[in-house]
């Protein structure tokens, strides 16, 4: 029973981590009239900020979401923020962007090297900055979740207890996770290190690997490993694998330091095994 509850809490944390690491998503609202919903759904991409574990959504002033009920299909409700609270949200947005930019500027060469090689679109501060440049053209809502579903890389849907979701806390390093993940995956040398980690620490014969997600305790990789499929002949297949840190990484700086430590340990293990 204890193990089952632990897995649910972990899944809830994964959902919160995904939310904290991104800044945009699809907003779906149900078109309705006096007789109720017509079951017609309007969808568009919107940008958001996770502040004190709650999402705040910026919707363009002329977007059709603004003339529909404040109800999100299957996921939750949106509540319009009045002038003062909307201004507070704008101030939080500005502080967050400045904090992100300052953290990048003050980061070490290892962190800035990874972030500089990532795609421009994967840095949260770059994507949210345009909201401040034309803030009056947006309507701000607070999003109140009513249900939560975790979608794994292979398309699997997993329902999450809302209490577990609300109780979970996101990691401080996650605002930079998209940039770190992209920067590592875009670099052949860094990806070879992921392959080495799979071979050395997990005893998996990996041919290729990509970084999927990160958190303070470690990271998940999607690795192409050698194994049997349905009791048939052995062949390479993609599998999600987990690598854990010996000590937690509280921020992006520490996360990169943990990766360097793992690489040094892996190389020592390989040298020792090879008799070099």
Q: What is the mean pLDDT of residues 184-211?
A: 92
Q: According to the model, what pLDDT value does residue 170 have? A: 80
Please give the residue that has the higher pLDDT: either 37 or 26: 26
Q: What is the mean pLDDT of residues 110-115?
A: 84
Q: According to the model, what pLDDT value does residue 35 have? A: 46
What values do phi and psi take at 105, rounded to 5? -65, -35
pLDDT digits (tens, 9 = 90+) for 243-268: 999 999 988 899 999 999 999 999 98
Burial annotation 77-100 (CB, 10 A radius, 16+ → b, else e) = ebeebeeeebeebbeebeebbeeb
Q: Which of 16-30, 53-67, 244-258 has the highest mean pLDDT?
A: 244-258
Please give the residue that has the higher pLDDT: either 252 or 156: 252
User: Over 50: is that where the pLDDT of 70 sits?
Assistant: no
User: What are the C-alpha distances in Å from 98 to residues 92, 93, 161?
Assistant: 10, 9, 34
Q: According to the model, what pLDDT value does residue 69 have? A: 37
Q: What is the mean pLDDT of residues 68-88?
A: 71
Residue percentage of the chain with pLDDT more than 70: 82
Q: According to the model, what pLDDT value does residue 254 have? A: 92
- pLDDT band for 232, please (50, 70, 90 cuts): low
Q: According to the model, what pLDDT value does residue 39 have? A: 56
Bridging pattern class, strands 54-60 and 71-72 = unpaired
Q: What is the mean pLDDT of residues 79-89?
A: 90
Q: According to the model, what pLDDT value does residue 127 have? A: 82
- pLDDT band for 149, please (50, 70, 90 cuts): confident
Please give the residue that has the higher pLDDT: either 190 or 134: 190
Q: According to the model, what pLDDT value does residue 73 have? A: 30
29-33, 102-106, 167-171: segment of lowest average pLDDT: 29-33
Q: Where are the alpha helices (DSSP H) in the chain?
A: 2-21, 83-105, 109-116, 124-133, 162-167, 177-185, 188-202, 252-274
User: Over 50: is that where the pLDDT of 37 sits?
Assistant: no
**Protein fold of 187-274:** Split barrel-like (3.20.180)
Would you list the domain boundaries of the chain? Answer: 2-169, 187-274
User: What are the C-alpha distances in Å from 18 to residues 31, 145, 169?
Assistant: 28, 15, 11
For residue 22, the SS3 value is coil
Q: What is the mean pLDDT of residues 122-133?
A: 82
pTM score above 0.75: no
Looking at domain 2-169, what is its CATH homologous superfamily? Answer: Electron Transport, Fmn-binding Protein; Chain A (2.30.110.10)
Q: According to the model, what pLDDT value does residue 7 have? A: 62
Q: According to the model, what pLDDT value does residue 218 have? A: 94
User: Over 80: is that where the pLDDT of 222 sits?
Assistant: yes
Q: Where are the alpha helices (DSSP H) in 2-76?
A: 2-21
Q: Which of 174-183, 228-237, 251-260 has the highest mean pLDDT?
A: 251-260
């Amino acid at each position: 029973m204890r193990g089952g509850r632990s897995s649910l809490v972990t899944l809830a944390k994964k959902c919160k981590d995904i939310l904290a690491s991104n800044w945009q998503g699809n907003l779906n609202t149900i078109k309705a009239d006096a007789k109720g919903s017509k079951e017609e759904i309007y969808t568009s991409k919107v940008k958001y900020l996770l502040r004190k574990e709650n999402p705040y959504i910026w919707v363009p002033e002329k977007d059709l979401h603004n003339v529909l009920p404040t109800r999100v299909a299957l996921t939750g409700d949106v509540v319009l923020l009045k002038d003062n609270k909307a201004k507070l949200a704008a101030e939080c947005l500005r502080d967050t962007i400045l904090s992100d930019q300052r953290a990048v500027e003050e980061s070490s060469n290892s962190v800035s090297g990874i972030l500089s090689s990532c795609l421009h679109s994967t840095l949260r501060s770059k994507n949210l900055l345009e909201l401040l440049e034309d803030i009056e053209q947006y309507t701000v809502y607070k999003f109140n979740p009513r249900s939560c579903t975790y979608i794994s890389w292979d398309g699997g849907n997993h329902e999450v207890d809302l209490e577990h979701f609300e109780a979970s806390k996101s990691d401080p390093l996650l605002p930079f996770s998209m940039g770190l993940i992209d920067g590592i995956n875009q670099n052949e040398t860094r990806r070879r290190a992921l392959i080495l980690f799979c071979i050395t620490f997990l005893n998996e014969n990996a041919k290729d690997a990509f970084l999927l997600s990160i958190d303070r305790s470690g990271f998940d990789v999607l690795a192409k490993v050698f194994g049997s499929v349905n009791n048939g002949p052995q062949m390479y297949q993609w599998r999600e694998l987990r690598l854990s840190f010996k000590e937690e990484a509280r921020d992006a700086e520490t996360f990169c330091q943990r990766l360097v430590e793992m690489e040094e340990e892996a190389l020592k293990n390989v040298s020792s095994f090879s008799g070099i």
